Amino acid sequence: MSGLMRLVLLHAAHHWVRTLLLAAAASVALALPIAGRFVVDRFETDLRERAQTVPLVVGAAGSRFDLVFTSLHFRMGAKGTIELGEADKIVRDRSEGVIRAIPMHVRFTARGEPIAAVGFEYFAQRELIASTGRLPAGLTEVSLGARAAGRLGLGVGDELPSDQRTTLDITAPSSIVLRVVGVLQESGSPDDDAVFTELSTAWLLEGISHGHAEAETITDPSSVLGRSGDAVALSGAVPTAQRVTDANAGSFHLHAERSELPITAVLVYPPSEKAATILAARYNARPGTQAVRPERVVDELVSFVIRLRAVFDAIAMLLGATTAALIALIASLSVRIREDELRTLADIGASRRAVAVVALGELLVVGMIAASLAAVEVAVLAMLASTLVSMV
């Protein structure tokens, strides 16, 4: 190391607070646009990858974004429902080959985590397997996504109360106790954040099914509106079970025809593009329903994101230019403060180049530290990109 560089380093080390502050400011200005691009790219990639896993989603008419994000990312957006019979009809229609149609219902939460009530084939389609316990098989059984299990701090054998949708409506179905029978292996997808259950549990949460004592045995006058030879009319005051047990499991019953039960979407896997087109046309032509291709919906969303990214890039460039100007200002002030010191160097015979190295070497040191810090910041943010995206 030359004597001049040693002099520069010693000076930077002597004023280490100033050096580090300058380097940190510069590193943030350098790293933010690059890291931002990584995060946005990961966001786009994750969205597209997830969208590509489902060719067609059929649901109630309304926002296509809500339908896709409710069905694929378990966001509580979609309000409307269609009937379970639609899923059966899609499966039964074999005119274009065998179609897999997975009904799902996403409208409830349990301690803030989305409850995804799905047809059993969902797990095979997504290659989800239980790391402990098993998949849900019956009423109120749930298997937790890996991240959801971590956040909830629950495992096999624990209980999880569902959240009430409204606290103001006393006639709304009460909270139901869900039984954790499994925790799923981490998949690196939104499935890690959901509480999975069987569809019948969703109808229990909706209040369409419930369990209570045999109607014939209920004697409380406030619970019985009337009796006839073959029927007992019960009032809404009949206490219903909030927890399914071996003793009361047989008392749970549906108050609707199976085909009329509500679902929020059907994930459809047609055997060909032609089959997908026919199905989409059929449901888009029918009032009250829609069929969307998640890939196209995500493309539409991403085009907005790309436009936003251009704005963020411009802001980042402005931030970088401002930071560079500030550092230049600080450097010029530093040279002015060190004017006597530099003149002494010149007086004792240092060349003009040597004086310049001593004066501007500090900038070089700050730049090198800033670049190193920026590299680490970008790497850390890139590593956390998936987590950051999953939190969006």
Contact footprint for another protein (CB under 8 A):
38, 42, 87-88, 91-92, 94, 98-103, 119-121, 123-124, 126-129, 134-139, 141, 185-188, 198-200, 209, 215-216, 225, 229-236, 238, 249-250, 252-255, 257-259, 372, 375-376, 378-386
Residue whose CB is less far from another protein, 154 or 184? 184
User: What are the structure tokens assigned to 275, written together?
Assistant: 């089959």
Please tell me the distance from the alpha carbon of residue 383 to that of residue 143, in angstroms, as a whole number: 28
Least distance in angstroms from the C-beta of 229 to another protein: 5
User: What are the structure tokens assigned to 72, written together?
Assistant: 């694929």
b/e code 42-64 from CB counts within 10 Å (16+ = b): bbbebbeebbeebbbbbbbeebb
Least distance in angstroms from the C-beta of 137 to another protein: 5
Q: In 3-state terms, what secondary structure has residue 231?
A: coil
How many CB atoms are located within 10 Å of the residue 380 CB? 12
Least distance in angstroms from the C-beta of 49 to another protein: 8
Residue whose CB is less far from another protein, 221 or 229? 229
First to last CA, the chain: 49
Least distance in angstroms from the C-beta of 226 to another protein: 9
User: What are the structure tokens assigned to 2, written together?
Assistant: 């030359």
Please tell me the distance from the alpha carbon of residue 64 to that of residue 303, in angstroms, as a whole number: 15
Residue whose CB is less far from another protein, 176 or 378? 378
Least distance in angstroms from the C-beta of 385 to another protein: 6
Asked if 197 contacts 74 with a C-beta cutoff of 8 angstroms, the reply is no
Quick one: which H or E segment has residue 281?
helix 273-285
Residue whose CB is less far from another protein, 38 or 74? 38
Least distance in angstroms from the C-beta of 291 to another protein: 17
Instruction: Fill in the amino acid letter for 153.
Output: G
Residue whose CB is less far from another protein, 63 or 201? 201
Shortest CA distance to 198 belongs to which of 157, 235, 148, 244?
244
Residue whose CB is less far from another protein, 91 or 342? 91
Least distance in angstroms from the C-beta of 253 to another protein: 5
Residue whose CB is less far from another protein, 359 or 370? 370
Task: Write phi, then psi, for 207 (nearest 5 degrees).
Answer: 90, 10
User: What are the structure tokens assigned to 215, written together?
Assistant: 């109607």
Residue whose CB is less far from another protein, 160 or 381? 381
Which residues lie closer than 8 Å to 389 by C-beta, 6 or more apart? 39, 42, 43, 46
Least distance in angstroms from the C-beta of 118 to another protein: 9
